[in-house]
Structure 1
Amino acid sequence: MGSLLGKVDWIGRSGLLEKLLEEQDGLVIQTLDQGFEAEVMKIVSGRESFVLKLWNKSSRPDIRTQFLLLKELFERGIAVSEPLGWGIDTNGDQVLLTTFDGTPVKKVNARKLAVLADMLAKLHQIKVEDLQGTHLPANDFMKYFFPGVEEYADISRLLIPLVQKAQMKQESIIHGDFHMNNIVEKNGRYTVIDWTNGQTGDPGYDFAWSVVLLSVYISEPYAAAFRSAYLQRYNIGPEKLKIYEALAVLRWRLLQRSGGVPVKQDTFQRITSIAEHNPFLQG
């Protein structure tokens, strides 16, 4: 374990990271669930635990920006892991070290979903212009969230006019993939993880993506509870919400065709039901 920490050129580092480097021979490493983009490890030092994320796969996100964003959000009281260091290892792969804040949420209820909705709304209320020294990307919406969509005429036909109708405003911070697997729980405290898609964006779409995923993979009543709690904090008009929801459904359809989303026994039935009740997805 020690050799792994020691072989990283730590560009951004905290006092706690310095302490870990001094005692690295006594650290214990545990492998966590691996994502599509990075190798994830848990580092244990006495009673404290940390997460080391190593981007050694095809994905090459900007980890410096992610580190600075987490630092800013943590200092503002947003429920994120505390960033402790980022750097580049001897293979040229980027590395991020944060606190370990629990395991993914497995069971939900209306009270818990209200807390999570409040967390997301609190994030969306931070305007990009208020950030101190963190320069988030403002990506082209279609290129970032719908890569390769031009290959699917049925999706493109609906998508292009919807994006125009949405008139998105990239003025807030969005997570980009706010769902149960990216929310961890420890001692009753919830933390939002995996900020690879963190960027300047439109809160309405970010919120709608979360609602659609809840409807598809948890249940419509729980999605409704999350929706209601969020809209009490961050108001989105009903027609605008339907547009964002339609965009989220189309993105799910695009990802499904490339195997990028899990599919269970009733998944297609649920996504179809959402589409059938959305006026912008008829036909």
Structure 2
Amino acid sequence: MSTVDPCGYLDIGAISSIGTADHIGTQGAYGTCTVHFSPPAGPQRIREIMVRIGSTGGDYGTPVEGTPVRLSATPDLCTSYIPFDEARKVGLSYTVSAAGELTASQTGAREDLCTAALTVAEAGLPLTATRPQRSASPPFTENPPFPAHAQVNHPLATLDPCAVLGTLAVDSPALYFSPGPVGWECHFAIGTDHTKTRHITYSYDYLSKALETERYSDKESRITVAGLPAVESRLTSHATGLKYCGITLATDPDATVEDAEGNRLQGHLIRVSIDGLGCDAARRTAEAIATRYNAHCRTVRPQFPAMGRCGD
């Protein structure tokens, strides 16, 4: 799944029937792809359509007669669901959201957005038989013109996050791990205590998450991990009372929060979090994945001429 491009499950013809989009690409979690409309499209003022590869919603939503599509409207959006890989319990969801001039109490459930959600889901059904590849998209350019898929083809997308187990768990007497429904996350516990779980996830998000600590907080620190800038967060779970540590790393060692014009920048991030083990274990996990990323980055770097340097 790590080679699959989620944007390939958005039919451009269906998107064009809704309005004129100006961007399609990775936004947030690696298992998602977002289409953006500016100005908002149609009388519903649709701003975004997001497709997500994830665990199936089961019987969530209302079935659409004569189709495998299910629909669910909330005060902010409408989401459609279709099966993708039923053997692995993986599905696709398409979420349509509108410009937010009105509050939820004024709009009620946005069933008016469900027509667009149904349109993109039905167009996506025949695409589930395909496996569109990230490598077919432009190699890491800042903002290729629509309909080229932005920020999809990046070295991080082809690095298995569970590969760190070859370093961290080599002498462990017991190991529990789950790669999740998609190939861009890994959850594992080294030893027999499954409450002390480590999590690695990839995302494309604001670089401030790896570069800026929360103002006036003594629970966050700027650190460097294998030459990559990062922010470490130390918290305690209210639900379990267990100590929690999270580290967010930028894959660009020269990343900045803003560009010369003051626009906040986004980039490819690695998120490491640990339940119940503290920040020493989180740093060891972050060091393992960052070291593997840097080596992988140097190997594939010639394929990405627009990308900056790799970490140490």
Higher percent of residues as strand: 2
Query: Same fold by TM (over 0.5)?
Result: no
Provide the TM-score with structure 2 as the length reference: 0.33
Provide the TM-score with structure 1 as the length reference: 0.35
